[in-house]
């Protein structure tokens, strides 16, 4: 135990002497929480719509006014030819073009039907689908209104109408920041645990100080533990700071037990630091560690469910998440913070991370012993 305490003392002195590492430890949490939570959003707050009204009738004017009344749409009226319409979509000057053809109102009154053209920029498929759905809702609502006017009734109500009243649990206001903030916290502790711990070990190799440690009676697992614990403590402190920022700035609710979250995070940090130390044990330079860690981190983030639900991925990709540490903690932290889940609710994830962490820790110790 005394050996580990001496190693911890050495590591903390080494960390705080490294001026390049201090900004990452103390400034990165603020930057991540204040910038990424706002930037990493899937919400659509404004869709640019260009309305081409070739009919210039009372009906098309009233329907265009319906678009303008919605806070979701930013409407621009223009008189464009089909070629010009294609051109503005190609340039990305607008998201949607709605074209009312000549004779729109006449066809509606004489034939009881009329056509409207909606062209949607579908480079972003989800945004295009959502924009079209909102447009169809506005047009459908207006269609009911004019049919009621044509039939001479106060309001058109279809018979046997079913009213659906949605109830949104855990995030009733559908605030996307509540969804993203816990995920950003996971990235925060992962960078501390994965990058800094692995870079610290390989830095010993580059400086040659690891050779001095190798001739001491320090056991290999003592050395690995001594490298892990300081960054585990730092990562937990950064998690605390990140939670405070999320609570103060974004009013993030915290419905779970804070100790439960720290237990899960500690197990997770043991896992990712074991992975980082294994990578550093098989690397000779900090550049090699950065390349390997960055490659796996990008893959892990994309497949973790941070931005899109894991259930939307192919089945084979969902099965691969069994080796994705970020998948476990993102799922855990959202459930603990927003739902109030406890240890018993997330037992499978806790066991999986523990077993995974022990395997990677054993590999790190084994590989370090083999190469030194």
Q: pLDDT tens digit string along 153-199?
A: 555 555 556 677 777 888 888 788 888 889 889 988 888 888 877 77
3-state secondary structure of 47: strand
At residue 73, φ and ψ (nearest 5 deg) are: -105, 140
Average pLDDT, the chain: 82
| pLDDT the model gives residue 324 | 92
- Mean pLDDT of all residues in 94-109: 87
pLDDT digits (tens, 9 = 90+) for 318-327: 888 899 999 9
| pLDDT the model gives residue 159 | 56
Cβ density class 53-91: b for 16+ within 10 Å, e for less: bebebebbeebbeebeeeeebbbeeeebeeeebeebbee
| pLDDT the model gives residue 85 | 84
Q: Looking at the predicted structure, is the pLDDT value of residue 129 above 60?
A: yes
- Mean pLDDT of all residues in 319-348: 91
Measuring CA to CA, which residue among 317, 185, 325, 335 is closest to residue 269? 325
Task: Flag the least confident range among 51-60, 97-106, 348-357, 362-371.
Answer: 362-371
- Mean pLDDT of all residues in 91-106: 88
Question: Where does the pLDDT of residue 17 fall: very low under 50, low under 70, confident under 90, or very high at 90 and above?
Answer: confident
* pTM higher than the cut 0.85: no
As beta bridge partners, residue 76 has 50
Task: Flag the least confident range among 8-22, 107-121, 272-286, 299-313.
Answer: 8-22
3-state secondary structure of 307: coil
Number of Cβ within 10 Å of residue 1's Cβ equals 6
| pLDDT the model gives residue 270 | 92
Percent of the chain at pLDDT above 70? 86
| pLDDT the model gives residue 84 | 85
3-state secondary structure of 164: coil
The whole-angstrom separation of Cα 76 and Cα 64 is 10
Q: Looking at the predicted structure, is the pLDDT value of residue 151 above 70?
A: no
Topology annotation, domain 47-151 = abc type-2 transporter like fold (3.40.1710)
| pLDDT the model gives residue 305 | 85
Burial class of residue 112 in the structure, from the number of CB atoms within 10 Å of its CB (0-12 exposed, 13-18 middle, 19+ buried): exposed
Strands (E), 134-212: none
Number of Cβ within 10 Å of residue 246's Cβ equals 24
| pLDDT the model gives residue 250 | 87
The residue that leads in pLDDT, 1 or 313, is 313
Residue appearing with tokens 């893959």:
299
Q: Measured over all CA atoms, what is the biggest interatomic distance in the chain, rounded to whole angstroms?
A: 96
The whole-angstrom separation of Cα 259 and Cα 154 is 59
The whole-angstrom separation of Cα 206 and Cα 191 is 21
CA 90 distance to own-chain centroid: 29
Q: Looking at the predicted structure, is the pLDDT value of residue 57 above 90?
A: no
Query: Which secondary-structure segment (H or E) carries 80?
Result: none
**Distant-in-sequence, close-in-space partners of 123: CB < 8 Å, separation ≥ 6:** none
| pLDDT the model gives residue 266 | 93
Cα angle at 293 between 288 and 296, to 5 degrees?
Answer: 130
| pLDDT the model gives residue 370 | 42
Q: For CATH 3.40.1710.10, list the domain ranges present in the chain.
A: 47-151
| pLDDT the model gives residue 331 | 92
- Mean pLDDT of all residues in 211-232: 73
The whole-angstrom separation of Cα 309 and Cα 57 is 45
Query: How many residues does this entry show for the chain?
Result: 372
The whole-angstrom separation of Cα 106 and Cα 221 is 84
């Amino acid at each position: 135990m005394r050996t580990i305490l001496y190693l911890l003392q050495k590591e903390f002195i080494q960390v705080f002497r490294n001026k390049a590492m201090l900004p990452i430890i103390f400034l990165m949490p603020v930057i991540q929480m204040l910038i990424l939570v706002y930037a990493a959003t899937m919400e659509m707050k404004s869709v640019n719509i260009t309305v081409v009204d070739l009919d210039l009738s009372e009906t098309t004017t009233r329907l265009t006014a319906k678009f303008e009344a919605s806070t979701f749409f930013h409407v621009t009226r223009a008189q464009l030819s089909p070629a010009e319409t294609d051109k503005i979509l190609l340039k990305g000057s607008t998201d949607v073009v709605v074209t009312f053809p000549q004779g729109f109102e006449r066809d509606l009154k004489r034939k009881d039907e009329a056509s409207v053209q909606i062209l949607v920029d579908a480079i972003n498929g989800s945004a295009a689908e959502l924009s079209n759905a909102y447009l169809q809702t506005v047009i459908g609502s207006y269609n009911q209104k004019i049919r009621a006017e044509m039939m001479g009734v106060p309001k058109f109500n279809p018979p046997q109408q079913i009213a659906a009243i949605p109830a949104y649990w855990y995030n009733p206001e559908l605030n996307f920041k509540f969804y993203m903030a816990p995920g950003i916290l996971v990235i925060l502790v992962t960078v501390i645990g994965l990058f800094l711990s692995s870079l610290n070990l390989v830095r010993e190799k580059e400086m040659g100080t690891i050779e001095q440690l190798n001739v001491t009676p320090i056991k290999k697992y003592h050395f690995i533990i001594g490298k892990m614990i300081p960054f585990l403590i730092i990562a937990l402190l950064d998690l605390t700071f990140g939670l405070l920022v999320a609570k103060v700035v974004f009013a993030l609710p915290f419905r779970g037990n804070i100790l439960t979250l720290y237990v899960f995070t500690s197990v997770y940090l043991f896992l990712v630091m074991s992975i980082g130390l294994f990578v550093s044990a098989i690397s000779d330079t900090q550049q090699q560690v950065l390349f390997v860690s960055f490659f796996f981190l990008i893959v892990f983030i994309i497949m973790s469910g941070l931005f899109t639900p894991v259930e939307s991925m192919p089945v084979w990709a969902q099965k691969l998440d069994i080796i994705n540490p970020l998948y476990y903690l993102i799922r855990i932290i959202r459930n603990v913070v927003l739902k109030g889940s406890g240890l018993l609710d997330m037992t499978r994830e806790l066991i999986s991370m523990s077993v995974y962490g022990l395997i990677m820790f054993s590999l790190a110790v084994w590989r370090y012993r083999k190469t030194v």
